């Protein structure tokens, strides 16, 4: 019995595109396999979110299943694919999140998902009814346990989130192996967690597990692939590539017998770098855009963003604009120019003085001699934002946002100014991680001018401004933010770790009162276990630590 894992890049709602991609894989591999496996909700892409509430959307997914049934007959193979299915009972949610087993022109079996992740970026209980029945499917003399993603994450019922263990239920039928169709999103911690889970499952059940993941990005969510073959004797018998499509076929008896393990090796920065490149590439590709534009300040955030954009889109599709003000230092322009030259990308210099003066000419009479403050700082940032958006509108380049997670956290940025753009590329990297990524990019040769990395960070919106005028050192700031955002610790717990009380209270307050800014910023490519955006939902009008 041969089993093929097809790790493919789907596109939400692109039923025809997703179908063609699956049919192509089938036509390429049908002669060398018995079962080809696609991933969770592969017909419609993941996460389809509220499109699932449209009957028309579900009916288009059903049409894809019908076409796959035809293909199973025409190519004489079995197909495992994830798709929504309609709950025939009036009570409960209208849909299940299901794994279909298709063979001989028909749907032979449908197993619904039991454990519906409803935390962080996940909203599955919003749409789906959980399974309450479990079975297996028999094919060519083999008994197969079908599972969907989270269903294998409650080993021995020890995951505190859940009270059911679907595989424990299925084991009464004595399956020969397990298939898991997944859409398991990337964070730099996730490939390891995923392998630990697959390992623990094969240890417990002593049968192979074929784990098929998505790859590709859908707005802010990146899927890294890394599909897995779990084998009883070795844990992980094989791991497919990260961040690219990959199709591979396995002989079941070989996997049962294998004593050879095979895992990818990738550092945190390998993963983040490649994940962000894919995130960028798919955001543009799936929206039908090719070209990016970035405001290049000479600082590290815009430099790292630009390098990522060039790697994702190609130098010919990335354009940058240097927009110096009276407060810009000489090295800002020269560092930015150097980077543009290193990358071979088009750049223009547009000083913002004319715009700034035009605003101030009208505003000064109304400002009645009030002193220079954040207003005038923001005016500079917003003049730049408007220029970038004008270039975007005229030439069709998407503006990339260059904010990092530290500044997004404490609100150290200007709404509609430097916080503008269609996609936040490094908004899930704390400042110290941005530095680490810059060093990583420079590991073979100096792409990013070393001066951009070594100079003290500055917004350059008033004379001799430094980030350290307003914020603690990023080493400290990032640690406190990590405890609060990822760790969900309260002020007392963080202070008890030894941080300065006043500083902790100030930082937590800044995070909370700046929710209004984050609410209006671009989607942020998620690379950590807790990113701003759909995975962290906070009220704006609140009075907690603020």
- Ranges within 363-422 binding a second copy (CB under 8 A): 363, 366-367, 370, 373-375, 378-379, 382-383, 385-387, 389-391, 393-394, 415-416, 420, 422
Taking CB under 8 A as the rule, does residue 362 contact a second copy? yes
Is 461 one of the binding residues for a second copy (CB under 8 A)?
no
Concerning whether 246 is annotated as a catalytic residue, the answer is no
The residue with tokens 């934002």 is 385
DSSP secondary structure of 363-422? HHHHHTTPPP-HHHHHHHHHHHHHHHHHHHHHH-PEEEE---HHHHHHT-S-TTTTT-SS
**344 contacts a second copy (rule: CB under 8 A):** no
Check if 69 is active-site: no
Nearer to a second copy, 305 or 452 (CB): 305
Q: Which is nearer to a second copy, 125 or 260 (CB)?
A: 125
Distances (CA, A) of 315 to 269, 295, 337, 343, 515: 22, 15, 15, 7, 35
Residues 234-293 that bind a second copy (CB under 8 A): 282-283, 286-287
Tokens standing for 358? Answer: 């035009």
Per rule CB under 8 A, count of chain residues that contact a second copy? 96
Question: Can you tell me which of 20, 27, 125, 253 binds a second copy, judged by CB under 8 A?
Answer: 125
Considering only the stretches 32-40, 135-143, 175-183, 353-361, report the one whose residues sit in contact with a second copy under the rule CB under 8 A: 353-361
Taking the least distance from each CB to a second copy, the nearer of 200 and 261 is 200
For residue 470, state whether it binds a second copy (rule: CB under 8 A).
no
113 is catalytic: yes
354 binds a second copy (CB under 8 A): yes
CA dihedral for 459, 462, 468, 469, sign (positive or negative): negative
Mark residues 140-179: x for contact with a second copy by CB under 8 A, - for none: -----------------x--xxxx----------------
Q: How far apart are CA 495 and CA 207, in angstroms?
A: 48
Binding mask 482-501 for a second copy (x = CB under 8 A): ------xxxxxx--------
Considering only residues 194 to 223 of the shown chain, the ones binding a second copy according to CB under 8 A are: 217-219
DSSP, collapsed to helix, strand or coil, labels residue 126 as helix
Catalytic residue chosen out of the listed positions 40, 124, 239, 407: 40
In the complex, the smallest distance separating the C-beta of residue 517 from a second copy, rounded to whole angstroms, is 10
Closest contact distance (angstroms) between CB of 416 and a second copy is: 4
Count of CA atoms in the C-beta half-sphere (13 A) of 228: 32
As measured in angstroms, the least distance from the Cβ of 271 to a second copy is: 21
Rounded CA-CA distance 229/194 in Å is 11
Site for a second copy in 496-535 (CB under 8 A): 516, 519-523, 534
Annotated active-site residue in 21, 113, 405, 431: 113
* DSSP summary character for residue 155: G
**Whether 517 contacts 411, CB under 8 Å:** yes
Which one-letter DSSP state was computed for residue 498?
A: T
Task: Give the strands of the sheet with 398-401, arranged side by side.
Answer: 346-349, 318-322, 292-295, 398-401, 423-424
Task: Decide if residue 20 touches a second copy (CB under 8 A).
Answer: no
| 45 near a second copy, rule: CB under 8 A | yes
Q: Which is catalytic among the residues 37, 44, 69, 149?
A: 149
Angle (nearest 5°) at CA 428 between 427 and 432 = 95
Map the footprint of a second copy across residues 104-123, applying CB under 8 A.
118-119, 123
181 vs 101, 150, 262, 488, CA distance in Å? 11, 9, 20, 31
Binding mask 55-94 for a second copy (x = CB under 8 A): xxx-x------------------------------xxxxx
Q: Considering the rule CB under 8 A, would residue 348 count as an interface residue with a second copy? A: yes
d(CA 129, CA 85): 10
Distance CA 291, CA 310 (A): 10
- Please list the active-site residues: 40, 113, 149
């Amino acid at each position: 019995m041969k089993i093929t894992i097809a790790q493919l890049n789907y596109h939400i709602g692109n039923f025809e595109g997703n179908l063609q991609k699956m049919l192509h894989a089938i036509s390429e591999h049908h002669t060398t396999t018995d079962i080809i496996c696609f991933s969770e909700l592969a017909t419609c892409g993941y996460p389809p979110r509220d499109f699932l509430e449209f009957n028309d959307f579900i009916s288009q997914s059903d049409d894809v299943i019908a076409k796959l049934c035809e293909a199973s007959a025409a190519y004489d193979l079995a197909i495992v694919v994830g798709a929504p299915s309609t709950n025939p009972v009036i009570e409960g949610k209208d849909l299940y999140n299901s794994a279909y087993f298709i063979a001989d022109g028909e749907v032979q079996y449908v197993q619904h998902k039991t454990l519906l992740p409803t935390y962080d970026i996940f909203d599955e209980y919003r749409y789906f009814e959980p399974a309450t029945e479990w079975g297996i499917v028999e094919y060519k003399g083999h008994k197969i346990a079908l599972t969907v993603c989270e269903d294998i994450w409650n080993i021995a019922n020890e995951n505190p989130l859940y009270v059911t263990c679907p595989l424990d239920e299925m084991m009464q039928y004595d399956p020969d192996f397990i298939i898991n169709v997944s859409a398991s999103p990337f964070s730099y911690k996730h490939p390891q967690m995923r392998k630990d889970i697959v390992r623990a499952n094969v240890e417990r059940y002593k049968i192979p597990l074929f784990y098929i993941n998505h790859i590709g990005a859908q707005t802010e969510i990146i899927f890294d692939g890394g599909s897995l073959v779990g084998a009883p004797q070795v844990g992980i018998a094989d791991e497919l590539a990260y961040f690219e499509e990959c199709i591979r076929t396995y002989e079941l008896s070989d996997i049962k017998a294998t004593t050879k393990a095979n895992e990818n090796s990738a550092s945190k920065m390998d993963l983040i770098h490649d994940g962000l490149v894919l995130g960028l590439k798919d955001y543009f590709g799936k929206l039908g855009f090719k070209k990016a534009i970035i405001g290049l300040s000479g600082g590290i955030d815009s430099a790292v963003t630009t390098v990522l954009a060039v790697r994702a889109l190609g130098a010919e599709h990335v354009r940058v604009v240097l927009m110096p003000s009276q407060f810009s230092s000489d090295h800002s322009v020269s560092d930015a120019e150097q980077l543009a030259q290193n990358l071979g990308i088009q750049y223009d210099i547009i000083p913002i003085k004319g715009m700034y003066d035009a605003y101030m000419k009208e505003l000064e009479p109304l400002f009645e001699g009030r002193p220079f403050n954040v207003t005038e700082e923001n005016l500079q940032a917003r003049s730049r934002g408007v220029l970038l958006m004008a270039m975007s509108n005229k030439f069709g380049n998407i503006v990339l946002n260059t904010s990092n997670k530290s500044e997004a956290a404490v609100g150290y940025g200007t709404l509609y100014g430097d916080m503008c753009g269609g996609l936040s590329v490094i908004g899930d990297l704390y400042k110290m991680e941005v530095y680490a990524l810059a060093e990583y990019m420079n590991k073979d040769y100096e792409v990013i001018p070393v001066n951009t990395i070594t100079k003290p960070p500055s917004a350059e919106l008033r004379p001799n401004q430094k980030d350290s005028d307003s914020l603690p050192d990023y080493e400290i700031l990032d640690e406190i933010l990590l405890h609060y955002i990822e760790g969900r610790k309260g002020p007392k717990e963080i202070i008890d770790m030894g941080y300065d009380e006043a500083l902790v209270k100030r930082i937590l307050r800044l995070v909370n009162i700046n929710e209004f800014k984050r609410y209006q910023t671009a989607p942020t490519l998620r690379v950590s276990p807790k990113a701003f955006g759909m995975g962290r939902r906070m009220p704006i009008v609140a009075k907690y630590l603020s």
